[in-house]
């Protein structure tokens, strides 16, 4: 039996393009002699469709698409993922389903049993979990078909009280197939391989795994579909961050073979390389899927905006990136020079608009109210917000999308101005800690100097008052980032972080800052997620509350 | 047996104040001869604590609070709600629990079985559902204790496949007690009474129901705790939107009696009166719980900002409300006059800051880029964003919180400027359709003219270009709001809404506008929720997707 794994990029709610893409791959696979073509979880509607799943019309459109797809399944079978009505009298009315389609008809339906409802996942919001498990018979083979999380109930940390394969294995299947929509995080590829390998060896079955690829606003699906033998050995791996279709033969001996050169990686790429690739895909799909081409951003001469500019130029083409230098009376000459060098290195478009006349007009207008009170955060924020007004005016006039350039460390402690530098359509490095931003800059410069060395080596500064440095208000970033990681990623208490060797007042101050900034993060743009715990849908905190300390 | 129902206002994560409040009410109830004091669901930590529940320290702090509460339970028992570790080897490690405490010890633990995971609720994200059901014996009576949603699996529309009372009834309980954290929506009191009444009559048991009161950022808990006899008749009702404790006697005949004058309402208050009360509590608790006193807002002379200003003055005191008039060259004389009349009627503080110099400075700075391109949305938004800069500068200088004045109709169709009039710490009327804003204005004026009649009767206008009217871009609000309600509240398709008698191009255009505005709503402040379907956590839509039409 020849099986094609189709790792494709879907668009949420775009039934026309998703259906056309699925059909064309079925036809191509059929021409290449495939008996079965396997697509990813919820491929018909895209993932995550969120509350569109609560619209009956949305589910009906999925059903219509499935009918169109079934029509082409003559002399070739396919597995597709879609939400379906279950018509049960109790429980939720939807299932997260896989259709096995053969001879133009739906021959079997498998429903997902384990519904992830943590971090960015909300599947229990929509779906009823399945409690029935049956193998699918096809061309003399028994297929144990499961959907994503169904294989993720680990032995060490069982999050659920059932395990679908423990039921299916009693029906003596020949092969496991798992269809998934598993989003990227920099450590997720290794975790995925380990858990799937464990399944293959535990059940002594070969395993074919198909993931989605492509970004859906903040979530980036990295592809990297996988094939294991019945000892749990990884025998093939589809490319990451791009579409692909590959063919495998399940022999009479239930051994999987393939003709193409293995794309198995000999070593895992470094985290920072993965993050780089993920962000490029995230930017590209955000623009492509929302019908925009041109990005704009403010360049300060600092490392954050430089990295974002370089990423945008790589993702969209330098000709589609407008960088704007917005100097104030506190901007240093070297910052302007660093920004100009970057523009020259990248070849992107650039404008310079000084903000002094604007901030002076605002301060003059506020003179009766402010009445010679000393310069403070109010005047600092006026600068940041004046820049945002100019950038947004350019967006409104010319059709750009503004890229947000805040990093995760700043977003964590609220070191940014709401409606100022926290503006944007999408946050490019909002899930990248400052120490990782330095790594990204060095990675971008791996072949030649793109980001001016001076932007990398000078002490970070917001330049909103004379001689300001980030370290005036914050600990050094290597210390700050470790505290942030402990609190955000690992949900440690201050006592536990202090025990790791960090200064008590610093730890308490940082955690206090994190919690005080919830109201700011509530209003920030969606953040491209590259870590296991990003701000946004994956981390849901109260705004008004008294916080842990 | 004398039972006290304690309907209190908790503060998320404020263990000190929550515990002190619970203890003082136990002591008061004991002095008044109570045998048992019943508190609301998750009263120890406040609801919803969201991802604080993922911090082990947070759960440990709940446990410590429970120990302190247990110490005072001598000669009086209590029921409190808190999250607990279940120490099971499979499934999630937390339960949403109720402790029955007697003689200084936890005598029984009840865990919630039905975990709401729709709309604003995410309980399956944190908790493992219970599958064990046992009555509690106390002073010769058997109590069937359940937690909120446990009684909400209706016969007509069973969302869950279990019903805890169907198990508990076999143990022949004498009384039902349900502890809840049930947030307000304008139609929710009647629904709550109907469902609980149905339980009392179905199981032929009296029912005591305790709800939380108080606002937690966007969610407003309205109290209104309820007592039913064993025929399902409502016999008493605690006040709405305020703290209260009331006493009931469960006699030897299992009949509930009480000494105080019944506070049972003879007729349900009008929706708009409930919305008004809910918003006042929402504003008050947002400021009180975040430690702020003073609000600021921009007054345009229009009805939205006038209504918000009146609500804020009532909630916080007129002396704590700073209203700012921010006229542009397009502001009409009558708008300024209407705003000034409002300020005079309310007696709140007021400043006037013209924005013309600022918008001119911005437009002059952008002249090289804009290069005489015609006036369009870019210049309109510059005005709105200039106002936001001034208001935020006032916040930063003087410690105000900015009140957002967008209504639900505008928020729905994106008729507002991101980083402009969409700014604010909390959105006061973002869940109130424009037609309801008119109702609110008339309700506020029920005794005397507070909101100038002219603000109510003149055609709505953003005044961002000469002679602009809302109806230039939008249908009349009575039509628009019906289409919005169909799509947002009832998830109808365009075809279904058209069938209700609305013009096809209008319906399609409105639905398109709703979906195109998702990226704007993603970045808006939290919205005080007063309807069954508010924007925010209760409505989670993809940003990048191709939309239903």
Asked if residue B349 has pLDDT above 80, the reply is: yes
For chain A, report the end-to-end CA distance as a whole number of angstroms. Answer: 60
The CATH superfamily of A2-259 is Carbon-nitrogen hydrolase (3.60.110.10)
Q: How confident is the model at residue A548 (pLDDT cuts 50, 70, 90)?
A: low
CB-based contact B548 A394, cutoff 8 Å: no
- What does the alpha-carbon distance between residue B169 and residue B203 come to, in Å, rounded to a whole number? 7
What pLDDT is recorded for position A82? 98
- Minimal Cβ distance to A364: which of B55, B161, B357: B357
Q: Which residues of B touch A388 (CB under 8 A)?
A: 385, 419
pLDDT in tens, B391-442: 999 999 999 999 999 999 999 999 999 999 999 999 999 999 999 999 999 9
Residue of chain B with shortest Cα separation from A92: B159
Residue of chain B with shortest Cα separation from A362: B358
- What does the alpha-carbon distance between residue B313 and residue A195 come to, in Å, rounded to a whole number? 58
Task: Give the total residue count for chain A.
Answer: 549
Residues B476-501: what's their mean pLDDT?
A: 97
Calculate how close chain B gets to A85, using CA atoms only, in Å.
Answer: 14
- Report the 10 Å Cβ neighbour count for B329: 12
SS3 content of chain B, % helix, strand, coil (to 5): 40, 20, 40
CATH 3.40.50.620 location in chain A = 273-470
Q: How far is CA A512 from CA A520, A545, B280, in A?
A: 14, 12, 29
Shortest CA distance to A121 belongs to which of A508, A416, A540? Answer: A540
Mutate to test the interface with A, among B389, B426, B507 (most CBs of A within 10 A): B389
What percent of chain A has pLDDT above 70? 100
CATH topology for B2-260 is: Nitrilase/N-carbamoyl-D-aminoacid amidohydrolase (3.60.110)
Residues contributing to the annotated binding site of B for L-glutamine: 118, 182
- Is the pTM higher than 0.95? yes
Tell whether A397 lies on the interface with B, counting CB pairs under 8 A: yes
CB B326 within 8 A of CB B358: no
Asked if residue B40 has pLDDT above 90, the reply is: yes
Asked if residue B344 has pLDDT above 60, the reply is: yes
DSSP state of B485: I
* Least confident range of A156-160, A184-188, B168-172: A156-160
Shortest CA distance to A412 belongs to which of A539, A305, A272, A306? Answer: A539
pLDDT in tens, B512-526: 999 999 999 999 999
What pLDDT is recorded for position B549? 55
What percent of chain A has pLDDT above 90? 92
Shortest CA distance to A241 belongs to which of A218, A270, A261, A211? Answer: A211
B41 is catalytic: yes
How much is the mean pLDDT over chain B? 96
pLDDT in tens, A436-463: 999 999 999 999 999 999 999 998 988 8
- What does the alpha-carbon distance between residue B463 and residue B258 come to, in Å, rounded to a whole number? 58
- What does the alpha-carbon distance between residue A516 and residue B290 come to, in Å, rounded to a whole number? 10
- What does the alpha-carbon distance between residue A486 and residue A507 come to, in Å, rounded to a whole number? 10
Calculate how close chain A gets to B386, using CA atoms only, in Å.
Answer: 8
CB B79 within 8 A of CB B106: no
Q: How far is CA B360 from CA A361, B355, B366, B394, in A?
A: 9, 9, 10, 21
Calculate how close chain A gets to B159, using CA atoms only, in Å.
Answer: 4
CB B229 within 8 A of CB B202: no
- Report the 10 Å Cβ neighbour count for A109: 18
Asked if residue A546 has pLDDT above 80, the reply is: no
Asked if residue A294 has pLDDT above 90, the reply is: yes
pLDDT in tens, A66-98: 999 999 999 999 999 999 999 998 999 999 999
Q: Which two tokens stand for residue B380?
A: 């309109």
CB-based contact A393 B362, cutoff 8 Å: yes
Touching A: B residues 276-335, CB under 8 Å: 285-286, 289-290
- CB hemisphere CA count around A124 (13 angstroms): 22
CB-based contact B365 A390, cutoff 8 Å: yes
What pLDDT is recorded for position A327? 95
What pLDDT is recorded for position A467? 86
Residues B332-352: what's their mean pLDDT?
A: 95
CB A54 within 8 A of CB A33: no
Residues contributing to the annotated binding site of B for deamido-NAD(+): 381, 410, 520
Using alpha carbons only, what angle is made at residue B26 by residues B228 and B184, rounded to the nearest 5 degrees? 50
- Minimal Cβ distance to A365: which of B159, B358, B365: B358
What pLDDT is recorded for position B548? 65
CB-based contact B541 A159, cutoff 8 Å: no
What pLDDT is recorded for position B472? 87
Residues contributing to the annotated binding site of A: 118, 182, 298-305, 381, 405, 410, 520
Calculate how close chain B gets to A301, using CA atoms only, in Å.
Answer: 21
Q: Which residues of A touch B393 (CB under 8 A)?
A: 362, 366, 370, 378-379, 381-382
Residues of A with catalytic function: 41, 112, 148
Q: Which residues of A touch B524 (CB under 8 A)?
A: 523
Torsion angle of C-alpha atoms B420, B426, B432, B438, degrees rounded to 10: -70
Which segments of A223-288 are extended strands (E)? 226-228, 234-237, 244-250, 256-257
Q: How far is CA A62 from CA A97, A98, B516, in A?
A: 11, 12, 22
Residues contributing to the annotated binding site of A for ATP: 298-305, 405
Q: How confident is the model at residue B210 (pLDDT cuts 50, 70, 90)?
A: very high
Name the 3-class secondary structure at A467. Answer: coil
CB-based contact A397 B373, cutoff 8 Å: yes
Tell whether B124 lies on the interface with A, counting CB pairs under 8 A: yes
- CB hemisphere CA count around A407 (13 angstroms): 24
Using alpha carbons only, what angle is made at residue B220 by residues B218 and B226, rounded to the nearest 5 degrees? 160
pLDDT in tens, B180-209: 999 999 999 999 999 999 999 999 999 999
DSSP state of A401: E
How much is the mean pLDDT over chain A? 96
What percent of chain B has pLDDT above 90? 92
DSSP state of B527: B
- Minimal Cβ distance to A548: which of B58, B351, B419: B58
Residues contributing to the annotated binding site of B for ATP: 298-305, 405
The predicted complex's ipTM stands at 0.96
Tell whether A131 lies on the interface with B, counting CB pairs under 8 A: no
- What does the alpha-carbon distance between residue A499 and residue A504 come to, in Å, rounded to a whole number? 9
What pLDDT is recorded for position A506? 97
Asked if residue B317 has pLDDT above 70, the reply is: yes
- CB hemisphere CA count around A414 (13 angstroms): 16
Q: How confident is the model at residue B447 (pLDDT cuts 50, 70, 90)?
A: very high
- Report the 10 Å Cβ neighbour count for A60: 12
Q: Which residues of A touch B120 (CB under 8 A)?
A: none
Q: Which residues of A touch B50 (CB under 8 A)?
A: 540-542
- CB hemisphere CA count around A328 (13 angstroms): 20
* β-pair partners for A325: A299, A352
- Report the 10 Å Cβ neighbour count for B75: 10
CB B147 within 8 A of CB B96: yes
Name the 3-class secondary structure at B209. Answer: strand
Q: Which two tokens stand for residue B512?
A: 């398109």
Q: Which residues of A touch B54 (CB under 8 A)?
A: 491
Calculate how close chain B gets to A359, using CA atoms only, in Å.
Answer: 8
Tell whether A253 lies on the interface with B, counting CB pairs under 8 A: no
CB-based contact A91 B124, cutoff 8 Å: no
CATH 3.60.110.10 location in chain A = 2-259
Residues B5-29: what's their mean pLDDT?
A: 98
DSSP state of B75: S
Residues A22-47: what's their mean pLDDT?
A: 98
- Yes or no: is domain A273-470 CATH 3.40.33.10? no
Q: Which residues of B touch A290 (CB under 8 A)?
A: 519, 543-544
Tell whether A375 lies on the interface with B, counting CB pairs under 8 A: no
Q: Which residues of B touch A522 (CB under 8 A)?
A: 525-526
Touching A: B residues 45-64, CB under 8 Å: 46, 48-52, 54-58, 61
CB A168 within 8 A of CB A133: yes
Calculate how close chain A gets to B12, using CA atoms only, in Å.
Answer: 5
- What does the alpha-carbon distance between residue A113 and residue B382 come to, in Å, rounded to a whole number? 51
What are the backbone angles phi and psi of residue A83, rounded to the nearest 5°? Answer: -80, 140
Shortest CA distance to A165 belongs to which of A188, A180, A181, A144? Answer: A144
CB-based contact A358 B365, cutoff 8 Å: yes
Shortest CA distance to A544 belongs to which of B526, B223, B80? Answer: B526
Shortest CA distance to B113 belongs to which of B181, B65, B160, B175? Answer: B160
Asked if residue B319 has pLDDT above 60, the reply is: yes
Residue of chain B with shortest Cα separation from A355: B365
- Minimal Cβ distance to A541: which of B14, B51, B118: B51
Q: Which residues of A touch B376 (CB under 8 A)?
A: 396-397
């Amino acid at each position: 039996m020849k099986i094609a794994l189709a790792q494709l990029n879907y668009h949420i709610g775009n039934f026309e393009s998703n259906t056309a893409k699925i059909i064309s791959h079925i036809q191509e696979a059929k021409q290449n002699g495939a008996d079965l073509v396997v697509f990813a979880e919820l491929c018909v509607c895209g993932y995550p469709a969120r509350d569109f799943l609560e619209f009956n019309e949305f589910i009906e459109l999925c059903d219509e698409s499935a009918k169109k797809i079934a029509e082409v399944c003559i002399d070739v079978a396919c597995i597709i993922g879609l939400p379906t009505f279950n018509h049960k009298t109790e429980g939720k009315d939807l299932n997260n389903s896989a259709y096995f389609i053969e001879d133009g008809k739906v021959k079997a339906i498998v429903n997902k049993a384990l519904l992830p409802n943590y971090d960015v996942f909300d599947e229990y919001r929509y779906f009823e979990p399945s409690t029935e498990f049956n193998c699918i018979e096809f061309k003399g083979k028994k297929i144990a078909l499961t959907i994503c999380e169904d294989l993720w109930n680990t032995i060490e940390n069982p999050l659920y009280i059932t395990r679908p394969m423990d039921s299916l294995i009693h029906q003596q299947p020949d092969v496991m197939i798992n269809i998934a929509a598993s989003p990227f995080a920099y450590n997720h590829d290794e975790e995925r391989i380990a858990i799937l390998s464990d399944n293959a060896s535990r059940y002594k079955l070969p395993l074919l795994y198909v993931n989605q690829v492509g970004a859906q606003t903040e979530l980036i699906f990295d592809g990297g579909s996988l094939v294991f033998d019945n000892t749990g050995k990884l025998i093939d791996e589809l490319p990451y961050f791009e579409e692909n279709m590959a063919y495998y033969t399940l022999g009479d001996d239930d051994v999987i073979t393939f003709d193409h050169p293995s794309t198995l990686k000999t070593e895992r790429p470094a985290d920072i390389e993965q993050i780089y690739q993920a962000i490029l895909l995230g930017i590209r799909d955000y623009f492509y899927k929302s019908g925009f081409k041109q990005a704009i951003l403010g360049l300060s001469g600092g490392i954050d905006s430089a990295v974002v500019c370089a990423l945008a130029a790589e993702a969209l083409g330098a000709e589609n990136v407008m960088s704007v230098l917005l100097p104030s009376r506190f901007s240093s000459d070297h910052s302007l020079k660093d920004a100009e060098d970057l523009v020259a290195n990248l070849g992107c478009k650039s404008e310079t608009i000084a903000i002094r006349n604007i901030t002076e007009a605002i301060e003059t207008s506020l003179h009766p109210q402010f009445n010679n009170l000393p310069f403070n955060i109010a005047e600092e924020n006026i600068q940041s917000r004046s820049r945002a007004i100019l950038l947004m005016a350019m967006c409104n006039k010319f059709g750009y999308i503004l890229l947000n350039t805040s990093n995760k460390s700043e977003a964590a402690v609220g070191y940014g101005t709401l409606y100022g530098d926290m503006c944007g359509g999408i946050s490019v490095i909002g899930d990248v800690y400052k120490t990782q931003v330095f790594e990204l800059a060095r990675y971008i410069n791996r072949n030649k100097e793109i980001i001016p060395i001076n932007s990398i080596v000078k002490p970070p500064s917001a330049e909103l008052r004379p001689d300001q440095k980030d370290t005036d208000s914050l600990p050094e970033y290597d210390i700050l980032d470790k505290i942030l990681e402990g609190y955000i990623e690992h949900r440690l208490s201050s006592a536990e972080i202090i025990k790791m060797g960090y200064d008590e007042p610093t730890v308490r101050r940082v955690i206090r800052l994190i919690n005080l900034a919830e109201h700011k993060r509530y209003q920030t743009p969606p953040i491209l997620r590259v870590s296991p715990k990003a701000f946004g849908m994956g981390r849901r905190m109260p705004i008004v509350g008294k916080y842990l300390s």
